[in-house]
Structure 1
Amino acid sequence: MKIKVDYLVCEANAVCMGLAPDVFEVDDEDNLHVLLPEPPPEMQDRVRHAVRSCPKAALSVED
């Protein structure tokens, strides 16, 4: 699995960070950072949930 972010759409709402804080981080300047662009298998369910929960649909995953 590989995480993709459309930074032109992302508003850094931090929903993804709340659901998968080991994978996503929003800094003090409201920039999203993907800490683990290829998360290990044990995190993939949380990542998929975070991707589905993005209010702007700015995240996607590629298997």
Structure 2
Amino acid sequence: MAPYYTVAAFLVLVAMGVYVIHRLNAQESGRVLAHRSTGLLHGLRRLRRSRTADRPDRTPPPRP
């Protein structure tokens, strides 16, 4: 029998293929905008932006 890590890698590849096929079908049916996101990078950008939006300005406080 194949080692467990090869079976795990195969299952990950199958899951990625299913995700890509569903994503392409959603784009063709118009449910998802074609160029709106770039997958994982878009999610990372969104997280980074939300973290900086909550941060106060970096200007020093006025001196008395």
Q: Which TM-score applies when normalising by structure 2? A: 0.22
Relative contact order, higher structure (CA 8 A, sep 6+): 1
Q: Which TM-score applies when normalising by structure 1? A: 0.23
